[in-house]
């Protein structure tokens, strides 16, 4: 919908959009700036914006306090593990739905989507019991499984929409040339599907990283990821704004960077292909 | 093109995902249903026998139930109105020609990637703290008394935080939809002298209607189960106890599993009503 407009109009658009963009981004920007202040500067009135002695001491303090590295590592393992496991299970399913569709394919896809709508709180206690029964409470394995299950419908759906864009003729040609199912998957589909698989993994890594119901309720100390670590700051303790900011910055920085690469996939993944 | 062999292979390949999701859906759901008909108090004797529909009646007649329903509807409704209206305006602005469009998009989308516990805590402390928060500084600068947001204006505060998190989502999806709008149609209307408002009302809005519906449905499903934002800010105090939070408290804090499970069944029914509409739209799209 690119239309030609006068330079004045374009300048006006630019000014308005930047002003609103910066306003929306401001809380994040302010958190990042605050993380480099001393605790006294962090609460000074009037607030200091850019002209202060930037310090890294909060990052040091956060790292020392309560073993920050372990929370970070838990987040990486849980988000990465659940994404990887989900993709391994979803690729064959999405492949067969995209290339060997049957009358029931649509129903199965919609049913999978419906499992995503189950409110977590409705099954909180059963999950709690199952976790205790199998010794999964406060374990990374348990969270990897649960987060894989809640994101599996999205993974299947995203992969399905990507796979459907791969032209079927190529497969037929390969089959005519006598390619087996195995070689078809390894030599033809996989190379064509890798961009789609990568985008799917990216979005699901982000969703799993930020998940804050099961990670808060099914972990205590051992397996708690960053969501739980940040939640531990909910009871204030003296001056802690700068440290809270530093902890928050480390928790969101990797995802902000990944997220900027996944804008397009976000729409596809979260609207189940209904908005293009 | 599908042979018999490839069909059975397809079934085998689908099996793990289908079986896992089936188990994920049925096992906990059956347990919740079972508990909801039992008098089950883990810390006070465990399973104390059948309870009929007692839990369902007690959950609805408890004094906390209706306030929690109203709180839930208020949060969901306000956030929907705010994010959809601002989202449409913002999407239309971002669609205009401008310099640095890519960067502005990134700035606008960023809040969606902030984990809920971080955004809730940052807003609560660094912005809304009545003594040291940025808003308190701002209020004092203008000679006003700082507001204790989380107690005196708890609902608007939570609605603000949640709207901030979800505005990027609405904007991004509506922007994607606007970009698929046929520019020629708009230009033709412009040449025919249709004023801005009419063009918006008769061309842009109808084109967006499907995207708006989808935004509303998806957001409703996520907003109904907001948890972390309340958990780390008010802990359900000051009239911010949603249905989700009430169930959480019944189950884990007061350890009345039977009662909590009955609440859980209500929540599942509520979510399913919304989900049915969403599935219809998505299903239609699959045929196309």
Residue contacts between A and B (CB atoms, under 8 Å): 323
Half-sphere exposure of B197 (CA within 13 A, CB side): 0
Q: Which residue of B has its CA nearest to A7?
A: B98
Q: How many CB atoms lie within 10 A of CB B288?
A: 5
Please tell me the predicted confidence (pLDDT) of residue A79: 93
**Is the CB of A13 less than 8 angstroms away from the CB of B97?**
yes
Cα distance between residue B214 and residue B170, in whole Å: 10
**CA proximity to B24, closest of A140, A148, A208:** A148
Contact A91, B243 (CB under 8 A): no
Cα distance between residue A54 and residue B45, in whole Å: 58
Please tell me the predicted confidence (pLDDT) of residue A1: 45
Out of B106, B178, B211, name the one closest to residue A260 (CB).
B106
| pLDDT mean across residues, chain B | 85
Q: What is the mean pLDDT of residues B62-68?
A: 86
pLDDT at B283 over 90: no
Say which residues have a Cβ less than 8 Å from residue B43's Cβ, sequence separation at least 6. Answer: B255
Q: What is the mean pLDDT of residues A149-178?
A: 83
Distance from CA of A38 to the nearest CA of B (A): 14
Contact A269, A87 (CB under 8 A): no
Please tell me the predicted confidence (pLDDT) of residue B131: 79
Out of B107, B179, B286, name the one closest to residue A106 (CB).
B286
pLDDT at A238 over 70: no
Cα distance between residue A239 and residue A81, in whole Å: 36
**CA proximity to B118, closest of A37, A260, A71, A70:** A71
Crossing angle of the two packed helices A140-164 and A190-210, in degrees rounded to 10: 140
Please tell me the predicted confidence (pLDDT) of residue A21: 92
**How many contiguous H segments (helices) and E segments (strands) does chain A have?**
14, 0
User: Which of the pair, A165 or B114, is modelled with greater confidence?
Assistant: B114
Cα distance between residue A156 and residue A103, in whole Å: 18
**3-class DSSP state for residue A123?**
helix
**Is the CB of A119 less than 8 angstroms away from the CB of B264?**
yes
**A1-44 pLDDT per residue, tens:** 445 678 888 888 899 999 999 999 999 999 998 888 887 777 77
CATH superfamily of B29-120+160-287: MetI-like (1.10.3720.10)
Q: What is the mean pLDDT of residues B185-189?
A: 78
Residue A215: both structure tokens together = 């990670």
**B3-33 pLDDT per residue, tens:** 666 778 888 888 899 999 999 888 988 998 8
**CA proximity to A161, closest of B37, B89, B226, B282:** B282
Strand partners, B38: B50
SS3 labels along A144-209:
HHHHHHHHHHHHHHHHHHHHHCCCHHHHHHHHHCCCCHHHHHHHHHHHHHHHHHHHHHHHHHHHHH
Distance from CA of B280 to the nearest CA of A (A): 9
Cα distance between residue A143 and residue A134, in whole Å: 13
Q: How many CB atoms lie within 10 A of CB A69?
A: 8
Q: Phi and psi at residue B41, in whole multiples of 5°?
A: -125, 95
CB proximity A122 to B under 8 Å:
yes
**B132-184 pLDDT per residue, tens:** 888 888 888 888 888 888 888 889 999 999 999 999 989 988 988 888 877 77
| pLDDT mean across residues, chain A | 83
- E strands, chain B, where? 38-41, 46-50
pLDDT at A266 over 90: no
Interface of A with B in 80-109 (CB under 8 A): 89-90, 92-93, 95-97, 99-102, 106, 108-109
Mutate one of A28, A46, A117 to test the B interface: name it (highest B CB count within 10 A).
Answer: A117
**Is the CB of A248 less than 8 angstroms away from the CB of B118?**
yes
**B257-268 pLDDT per residue, tens:** 888 889 889 888
Please tell me the predicted confidence (pLDDT) of residue A78: 93
Please tell me the predicted confidence (pLDDT) of residue A39: 78
Say which residues have a Cβ less than 8 Å from residue A266's Cβ, sequence separation at least 6. Answer: A203, A259, B109, B112, B169, B172
Percentage of residues in chain A having pLDDT higher than 70: 94
Provide, as residue numbers in chain B, all residues whose Cβ is less than 8 Å from the Cβ of A1: 95, 178-179, 181, 183, 186
Residue A23: both structure tokens together = 């306003």
**A65-103 pLDDT per residue, tens:** 767 788 889 999 999 999 999 999 999 899 888 888 888
DSSP letter (8 states) at residue A53: -
Q: Are strands B46-50 and B38-41 parallel, antiparallel or unpaired?
A: antiparallel
Say which residues have a Cβ less than 8 Å from residue B73's Cβ, sequence separation at least 6. Answer: none
Among A94-98, A120-124, B79-83, top mean pLDDT goes to B79-83
Please tell me the predicted confidence (pLDDT) of residue A276: 65
Mutate one of B1, B4, B13 to test the A interface: name it (highest A CB count within 10 A).
Answer: B13
Q: Where are the domains of chain B?
A: 29-120+160-287
Cα distance between residue A174 and residue B26, in whole Å: 40
**B52-63 pLDDT per residue, tens:** 788 888 888 888
Please tell me the predicted confidence (pLDDT) of residue A236: 64
B193: left (phi over 0), alpha (psi -120 to 50) or beta: left
Cα distance between residue B24 and residue B18, in whole Å: 10
**B95-142 pLDDT per residue, tens:** 888 888 888 888 898 898 898 889 998 998 888 888 788 888 888 888
pLDDT at B43 over 80: no
B46: left (phi over 0), alpha (psi -120 to 50) or beta: left
Please tell me the predicted confidence (pLDDT) of residue A43: 75
Please tell me the predicted confidence (pLDDT) of residue A87: 94
């Amino acid at each position: 919908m690119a239309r030609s407009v006068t330079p004045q109009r374009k300048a006006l658009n630019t000014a308005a959009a930047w002003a609103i963009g910066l306003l929306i981004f401001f809380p994040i920007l302010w958190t990042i700036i605050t993380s480099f202040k001393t605790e006294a500067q962090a609460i000074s009135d009037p607030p200091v914006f850019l002209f202060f002695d930037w310090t890294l001491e909060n990052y040091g303090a956060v790292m020392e306090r309560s073993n920050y590295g372990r929370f970070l590592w838990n987040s990486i393992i849980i988000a990465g593990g659940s994404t990887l496991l989900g993709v391994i299970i979803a690729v064959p399913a999405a492949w067969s739905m995209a290339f060997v569709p049957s009358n029931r394919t649509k129903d199965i896809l919609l049913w999978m989507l419906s499992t995503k709508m189950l409110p977590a709180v409705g099954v909180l206690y059963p999950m709690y019991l199952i976790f205790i029964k199998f010794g999964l409470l406060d374990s990374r394995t348990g969270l990897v499984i649960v987060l894989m299950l809640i994101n599996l419908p999205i993974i299947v759906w995203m992969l399905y929409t990507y796979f459907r864009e791969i032209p079927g003729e190529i497969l037929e040609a390969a089959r005519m040339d006598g390619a087996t199912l195995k070689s078809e998957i390894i030599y033809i589909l996989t190379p064509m599907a890798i961009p789609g698989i990568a985008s799917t993994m990216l979005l699901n890594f982000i969703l799993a990283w930020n998940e804050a119901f099961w990670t808060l309720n099914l972990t205590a100390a051992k397996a708690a990821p960053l969501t739980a670590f940040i939640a531990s700051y909910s009871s204030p303790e003296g001056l802690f704004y700068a440290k809270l900011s530093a902890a928050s910055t480390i928790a969101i920085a990797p995802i902000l960077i990944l997220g900027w690469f996944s804008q397009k996939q976000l729409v596809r993944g979260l609207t189940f292909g209904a908005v293009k | 093109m599908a042979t018999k062999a490839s069909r059975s292979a397809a079934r085998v390949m689908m099996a793990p995902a289908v079986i896992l999701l089936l188990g994920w859906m049925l096992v906990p759901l059956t347990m919740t249903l079972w508990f909801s008909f039992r008098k089950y108090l883990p810390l006070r004797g465990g399973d104390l026998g059948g309870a009929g529909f007692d839990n369902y009646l007690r959950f609805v007649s408890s004094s906390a139930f209706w306030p929690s329903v109203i709180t839930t509807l208020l949060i969901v409704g306000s956030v929907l109105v705010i994010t959809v209206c601002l989202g449409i305006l913002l999407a239309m602005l971002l669609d205009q020609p401008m310099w640095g469009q890519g960067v502005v998009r990134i700035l606008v989308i960023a809040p969606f990637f902030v984990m809920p516990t971080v955004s809730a805590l940052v807003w609560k402390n660094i912005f809304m703290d009545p003594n040291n928060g940025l808003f308190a500084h701002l209020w004092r600068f203008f000679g006003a008394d700082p507001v204790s947001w989380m107690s005196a204006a708890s609902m608007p505060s939570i609605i603000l935080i949640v709207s901030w998190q979800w505005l990027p989502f609405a904007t991004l999806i509506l922007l994607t939809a606007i970009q698929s709008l046929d520019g020629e149609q708009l230009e033709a209307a412009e040449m025919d002298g249709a004023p801005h408002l009419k063009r918006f009302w008769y061309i842009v809005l109808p084109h967006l209607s499907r995207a708006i519906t989808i935004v509303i449905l998806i957001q409703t499903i996520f907003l109904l189960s907001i948890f972390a934002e309340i958990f780390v800010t008010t802990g359900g105090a000051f009239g911010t106890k949603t249905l989700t939070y009430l169930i959480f408290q019944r189950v884990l804090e007061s350890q009345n599993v039977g009662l909590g499970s009955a609440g859980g069944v209500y929540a599942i029914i509520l979510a399913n009503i919304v989900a049915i509409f969403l599935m219809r739209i998505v299903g239609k799209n699959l045929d196309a």
